[in-house]
Amino acid sequence: EVRLVESGGGLEQPGGSLRLSCAAAEFNFSPYSMNWVRQAPGKGLEWISHISSSSSTMFYADSVRGRFTISRDNAKNTLFLEMTRLTDDDTAIYYCAREAGGGMDVWGQGTTVIVSS
């Protein structure tokens, strides 16, 4: 079964850092662009970052640019999100999603990040 599995979430203090991972299984990871999308408690979906298949192109939402860094290791079929200078507003479920020729067609189950003192 094609799937994405996120990990690395947890409780972190304001100003701290976390590194999320997203492991791809049962499909060839390297040709696909990937995204991170988050959902704050009781809120809608917020796209936060995109990376192309070869890592040549990366985009960020204004809310995280300069604090978060997206990367990938195609040899290990894994996507990453390095999060620094965390604030309460970063509390959310973080999803990784595969981007096919059109649309994000495979999503993980999400990992929860809580920023609190």
Partner 1 sequence: IVVTQSPLSLPVTPGEPASISCRSSQSLLHSNGYTYLDWYVQKPGQSPQLLIYFGSNRASGVPDRFSGSGSGTDFTLKISRVEAADVGVYYCMQALEGRTFGQGTKVEIK
Name the site residues for partner 1 (rule: CB under 8 A): 35, 37, 44-47, 50, 59-61, 95, 97, 100-105, 107-110
Indicate the residue among 75 and 102 with the shorter CB distance to partner 1: 102
CB 19 within 8 A of CB 82: yes
Work out how close the CB of 15 gets to partner 1 at its nearest, in angstroms, rounded to a whole number. Answer: 26
Work out how close the CB of 17 gets to partner 1 at its nearest, in angstroms, rounded to a whole number. Answer: 24
Q: List all residues 6 or more positions away from 82 whose beta carbon is below 8 Å from its beta carbon.
A: 17, 19, 68, 69, 70, 71
Work out how close the CB of 62 gets to partner 1 at its nearest, in angstroms, rounded to a whole number. Answer: 9
Indicate the residue among 88 and 105 with the shorter CB distance to partner 1: 105
Indicate the residue among 41 and 101 with the shorter CB distance to partner 1: 101
Indicate the residue among 33 and 78 with the shorter CB distance to partner 1: 33
Work out how close the CB of 21 gets to partner 1 at its nearest, in angstroms, rounded to a whole number. Answer: 17
Q: How far is residue 94's CA from residue 113's CA, in Å, rounded to a whole number?
A: 7
Q: List all residues 6 or more positions away from 107 whose beta carbon is below 8 Å from its beta carbon.
A: 4, 37, 95, 96, 97, 98
- How is residue 57 written in tokens? 């192109």
Query: HSE on the CB side for 88, CA within 13 Å?
Result: 2
